[in-house]
Structure 1
Amino acid sequence: MMMHHLPAAPMSQVLPSQREDIQRPIQRWPARVVYPIITLPREITSEIFLHCLPPAPDFSSKLVFPHPSFDLDENPELKADPYPHNPRPSEAPFLLLQVCSAWRSIALVTPRLWTHLHLNLADINYFSFYPDLEEFIADWFTRAGSCPLFFSGNWSSIAASSASASLNTTLLRYAPRLRNLALQLHEQQLGELGALAAPFPLLEKLAISISFPASQLRTFPDFFCGMPRLKELYLNMVPSMFSIPWAQLTKFACGNVDNLANVFHAAPLLTDLTCSISEDSHELATDITHARLQTLCLVNRSSGHFLPRLLLPSLQTLHLKDGEELYDDLLPFLALSATSLRTFSSFGLPIAPLALDWFSAMPNLTHVTVYAPPPDFAAPFFARLDRAQDSTFLPHLHFLAFVYSSFNLTPPMLHALSSRCTGGDAVAKLHTFMQVWPTGFVRTLGKATIATLQQLVEQGMQIHVGPAEV
């Protein structure tokens, strides 16, 4: 039997009593649904929101030396962007405001969600996002309540120059609450910044980078005077331009140092130093000892003539980037300061064959990263690495990385890695091996190589061989 379905009558033709019967369950339906996350205490929801925030960028030395060779964590961030990014609607905290009214109200009264603000005004779209920049910044930091603030911004582009007034206003308004400040500026803005002379009583970390040489820039003797808590300072300018509070600094990075001895004498608390040494710097007249320095990064054009007179008994990390001047003087330096060294990296140095002597002079290394090794370096290095051939070479090595390298993993090299899969009281087990290929490099690993690497993984070694992970 065929059934005929009559079209439903429009709501306007339904009797009032019938309309109420239809609408009543629809109106009650949201009240009957209880989402478990809505029932959480507000304090717990706020804490969950904090874990949704994107990682805060670390601008420190990246603003001074924007090169991936200094992203030297155990997993190098080869595509790190040294510049701030703008808040995105697709990320917390903005995203949390768009989910529901309950989340919005919680996010707006969670101060720690709004303590970090990173603006890249070189982005040509920033005018559409922030037509009134001062009001946007004020709204953001007002939600932070009385919490200390972390602020960074790129004002160096021509497009951003019209927003210079907003930067000065922001710094004057929030100077008493700023704990971290990172700015990329052009030369004129740096002059205006020095003229502010605002006190920053809570500021602990400051990074300033200018996009053009400040050869004609006058000095600002009072610029750092209102920073009694400043511990970390990062500049891409010559430090002699400023009256720097050396005695309180623990970390310092700059574009060029013309007298390393003066820095060490003036900064007795220094633990981390990243710099380039002037090519025309003179050899040290006397030996210099710095008891606290733990990390030393020498960057491009660095003159190495001072190294043999330098004694760093607490040095744990040594990074070298470019500079053939370092080549001949490194070994006598290591003979004095390598006892406590644990981490070593090099980029752009002519490391073979003398580099094997360098590593022999650093017997306590646990982490080694070599960027762009020359073709003739890998084979002799792995030959020494094989414990069956030399049990005294780098006995404590945990982490080994070759970045921007394209050498073939030969059977002797794989055998050397296999010899490092076991450890003991006197020797360590190699936990991580990385060979990151150059950009655009393509290679197919042989089946035997893959099988050996898989065996090493099954024995507990973390391995990455291939292009950089995005």
Structure 2
Amino acid sequence: MDGVSSQLLHSNVPPTDEQSDYVRQLVLQRQQEALDLEEQYRITYAALLDIDARRKQNQRDIEVLGAVFAPIRRIPVELLAEIFQFCIPTLAGYDPNYRISDPCSVPIVLTRVCSVWREVAVNTPHLWTGLVLRLPNRHGNVNLPMVETLVHRSNPLPITVTIHSDQIGTSLYDQSTGALTILPAVFGIPQLVERVETLDINLFIRDIHHSLRQLPIPIFPALQTLILHLGKGQHWRRTLATFLEFFGYSPVKNIISNMSSVAPNEW
């Protein structure tokens, strides 16, 4: 502030015409300076944003380039395959919601990291030997081409298959014929039938024994363990007996049921 404006601001004396013109010019001058400062601020702020963006991009580049020296890149593929196997859930920690065909399951995720990991995962049969088919919808549909692909990847190892459904009712049946649709579809995959060593069936379905008797009896030449989790309905004994008859031509050594334990020589 100059002397004239300061004097006017600190007193109640009305300005003269000359002083009024002077103050008006001073206001216009300050307004122009404010516009100039606003423009300088905009330019400077934009420059700071640009510098900050380049700084962050530079940091990302450093991190990306640093990944080239990551120890895992130098691990032999044989050891990498061994490491991958520790990521797979075991039967002891079986989660009925886990599905190997799920896009978020461990084996599938490993195939999507990079081309090297995909090749290692696809060519490591141990990653694909635990096949859990959790029926996802009311029709009991299963993506059979996907199942065939996963079974092929486990070749030539024996496999463990779990067929799981917590739905009670007729959801696994063909509505027109009443026939059970899921079991013949899955059991129609030759490689699966030939190499399944452990079969875990979790089906809580009413009157399943009626449809089982309509199906051709399959022979599982490698089947060693049969695990049956069946609904505790009024016909559970008949259902259990039907399952035992259904698998009676396979060389099963261990049979585990939520109803009772059954020795093969007691069939």
For residues 238 and 125 of structure 2, the distance between their equivalents in structure 1, rounded to whole angstroms, comes to 39
Rate the CA distance shift 1:150–1:6 in 2: closer, same or farther, 3 A: closer
Matched, 1:203 2:220: no
Of residues 105, 115, 122, the one that matches 1:101 is 115
Residue equivalent to 2:20: none
Residue equivalent to 1:52: 87
- Are 2:201 and 2:229, in contact at CA under 8 Å, matched by a contact in 1? yes
Counterpart amino acid of 1:98? R
**Which has the larger Rg?**
2
Matched, 1:146 2:160: no
Matched, 1:232 2:242: no
Of residues 148, 167, 184, the one that matches 2:183 is 167
TM-score, normalised to structure 2's length?
Answer: 0.59
Of residues 163, 185, 192, the one that matches 2:211 is 192
Matched, 1:86 2:99: yes
**How far does the alpha carbon of each residue in 1:360-391 deviate from its partner, in whole angstroms, 9 at most, with x for none?**
xxxxxxxxxxxxxxxxxxxxxxxxxxxxxxxx
TM-score, normalised to structure 1's length?
Answer: 0.36
Counterpart amino acid of 1:168? P
Q: CA deviation at 1:203?
A: 0.8
Residue equivalent to 2:130: 116
For residues 233 and 47 of structure 1, the distance between their equivalents in structure 2, rounded to whole angstroms, comes to 31
SS at match of 1:98: coil
- Are 1:96 and 1:103, in contact at CA under 8 Å, matched by a contact in 2? yes
**How far does the alpha carbon of each residue in 1:59-91 deviate from its partner, in whole angstroms, 9 at most, with x for none?**
8xxxxxxxxxxxxxxxxxxxxx7x463345444
Residue equivalent to 2:16: none
Q: Tell me which moved more, 158-167 or 145-154.
A: 158-167
For residues 133 and 139 of structure 1, the distance between their equivalents in structure 2, rounded to whole angstroms, comes to 10
**How far does the alpha carbon of each residue in 1:279-333 deviate from its partner, in whole angstroms, 9 at most, with x for none?**
xxxxxxxxxxxxxxxxxxxxxxxxxxxxxxxxxxxxxxxxxxxxxxxxxxxxxxx
Rate the CA distance shift 1:109–1:216 in 2: closer, same or farther, 3 A: closer
Residue equivalent to 1:183: 201
Q: CA deviation at 1:120?
A: 3.0
SS at match of 1:196: coil
Q: CA deviation at 1:50?
A: 0.2
For residues 111 and 179 of structure 1, the distance between their equivalents in structure 2, rounded to whole angstroms, comes to 15
For residues 54 and 239 of structure 1, the distance between their equivalents in structure 2, rounded to whole angstroms, comes to 26
SS at match of 1:93: helix
Counterpart amino acid of 1:161? L
- Are 1:156 and 1:210, in contact at CA under 8 Å, matched by a contact in 2? no
Q: CA deviation at 1:234?
A: 1.5
Gaps of 5+ in 2: 1-39, 48-60, 175-179
**How far does the alpha carbon of each residue in 1:152-190 deviate from its partner, in whole angstroms, 9 at most, with x for none?**
122351474158423222123222211000112224434
For residues 6 and 187 of structure 1, the distance between their equivalents in structure 2, rounded to whole angstroms, comes to 71
Q: CA deviation at 1:119?
A: 3.0
**How far does the alpha carbon of each residue in 1:81-135 deviate from its partner, in whole angstroms, 9 at most, with x for none?**
7x463345444112212322321221112111011012332xxxx249x975222
More helix by share: 2
- Are 2:88 and 2:127, in contact at CA under 8 Å, matched by a contact in 1? yes
Gaps of 5+ in 1: 9-25, 60-80, 247-262, 267-470
Rate the CA distance shift 1:168–1:189 in 2: closer, same or farther, 3 A: farther
Counterpart amino acid of 1:105? E
Residue equivalent to 2:50: none
**How far does the alpha carbon of each residue in 1:382-425 deviate from its partner, in whole angstroms, 9 at most, with x for none?**
xxxxxxxxxxxxxxxxxxxxxxxxxxxxxxxxxxxxxxxxxxxx
For residues 53 and 232 of structure 1, the distance between their equivalents in structure 2, rounded to whole angstroms, comes to 24
- Are 2:142 and 2:182, in contact at CA under 8 Å, matched by a contact in 1? no
Over the residues paired in the alignment, what is the CA RMSD in angstroms? Answer: 3.9
For residues 120 and 137 of structure 2, the distance between their equivalents in structure 1, rounded to whole angstroms, comes to 29
For residues 151 and 113 of structure 1, the distance between their equivalents in structure 2, rounded to whole angstroms, comes to 13
- Are 1:111 and 1:147, in contact at CA under 8 Å, matched by a contact in 2? yes
